[in-house]
A = this chain, B = another copy of it.
């Protein structure tokens, strides 16, 4: 239990950093000023975890009660802002860091929800929300339809990672082992979606030519 809590904390800080990079990179792409970039980095980094903490009753949420997440997000934001040409040259910087953060947050969020006594189906959903929340808010703030709702595997990758944790926990496996498998599965599914075009089915409700 103690080690699960420590694991959640470490994963949370890693996820915070990579999501902050993802948010900051989008902010730079959209020509936001330094402060807008930092705000977007922070919000992207903590929104998913904040939503989870408010929903499970862990109030004030960890990212408010301590200043660690803020410091990490600001550091990541400054880094991206300063070396923006470098990040821009990487082909899909936003997408890559987004995939990594997705997996880490989904796994950490599921573990924390289980620690708070949430039943397993909702623990998996809360893990998914932890993972997709930051990206959703980031996309809403930049007035796009959130990635999660467009035709790529995204939320489903987060949910797959979350389910690994739920199943592993009920099977009594080591939390650290389940966490790593869950993250790997999530990142793998997301990258397959991005680079191999893996998709879920889409219902065809439209007569041809309509939009």
Interface string of A116-134 (1 = CB under 8 A from B): 0011011001100000100
Asked if A122 meets B202 with Cβ closer than 8 Å, knowing A149-B40, A153-B35, the reply is no
Which secondary structure dominates chain A's binding surface?
A: helix
Binds B, one of A63-71, A103-111, A167-175, A179-187: A63-71
Interface size class of A (residues with CB under 8 A): 35 or more
Option from B29, B136, B205 in Cβ contact (under 8 Å) with A87:
B205
Binds B, one of A2-10, A11-19, A138-146: A138-146
A96 interface contact, C-beta 8 A: no
B70 touches A35 (CB 8 A): no
Interface string of A15-58 (1 = CB under 8 A from B): 00000000000011111111111011010000000100011110
- Give A residues with C-beta under 8 Å from B: 27-37, 39-40, 42, 50, 54-57, 59-61, 64-67, 70-71, 81-82, 84-85, 87-88, 118-119, 121-122, 125-126, 132, 136, 140-146, 148-156, 159, 199-206
- Top 7 nearest A-B pairs (CB, nearest first) are A33-B200, A84-B203, A88-B205, A84-B205, A67-B121, A36-B149, A35-B156
